[in-house]
Structure 1
């Protein structure tokens, strides 16, 4: 399957061809190796903090190794988003401006039973040719058959019905990718994390980008603070969602155009 590319980040024609046919594409050597290591080092304490909340709220069983909403001032996420990885492809796929819907990670460990191992797609409603969401996976450890490389049922982004599990695992491809790679895939694509049969963790970042009018999984501007947004670059304000907020009262609603919470150009 010819969906593995290197140094082709600006070839949107090739991106169109591969995404249309397979639903996913690999860009190798996308991240600096030291940045990959920095991200990996930050995941364990972030996971421990989230794990306590999962346990306290009684939802830990299926959340093993999953970290949600890593958009925090002290973490790597703002530095990552500043780099605009995949920006031409995301903007092209969504036909305009976009925002971050979610940014999380998976630490796939031996004997994990996390929900990401279920066959699923990342958008609940099949949207066909109308694209609302694109996924990004950042490979932090080499993905191998032994450590649970993700299954992708190539071409399944063009069909609505969920495939039977037997068919899925008999026909799905495996995302065998080196650390530092980025995988972009259509949110309609059926996929599943593999099982890790090694003693080492298999880590990856998982992100979703959407058209700006879609609700974020977490209100990142409110979480980070509206005042904090004033210190960000225009690009970061856009992708984190500061230009597509919803006013909560009349003071926020009745504002001149340049101060409105939902800015122009967010279609």
Structure 2
């Protein structure tokens, strides 16, 4: 099985222009860009045949090449990472699976991606898969605080007994109705922004326009659900690692603090 891992990197982010180039300091005080740290995370994943950065921006291309990354230049037409993965796949040729490791998740542990690939490979009837992480009380409290203060934080996922996604939202779903102790497991799942696709699913995605739910939530994966393409949710375990995506400039100190706690250089 051949696996292509694509890191989509767009300079013209609405909430955070130039985000891939944002510096992040690790435990040793060394500063590396968000894109470099995402590339480093991708290179730790076992079973990947090729890793590329996909971008439309010459500044990102030059920066990625400066630390040895392979870069594929896409057009400025893609509206999200999945559409950029389609263009990258068309330029590089088909693989059995394409992984989208979005360039704003440098804390993604390698086993999240490894478990995702294994989960989709073991479900031949499924075309798309994404990881979900059961939240403990402390993480859920953080999500709820973000919402109360009007910050766009992480995404939550709900799925059926067959592990097929029912919905993804930037709101906290499902409603729990009670507080949880910091280390207590909750029924809320954090959606980890990584995807694995079969080539046919990517082409089907590119052939469809965004629906109202994708537009309202700003979540690209909802296009699959709105057009009847099921998404497999693969549960992953933190194994003591902290996880967060860089959604807004205010997330930088949060991620740097997590990196310091975990001793990441």
TM-score, normalising length from structure 2? 0.25
Where is the strand percentage greater, Structure 1 or Structure 2?
2
TM-score, normalising length from structure 1? 0.25
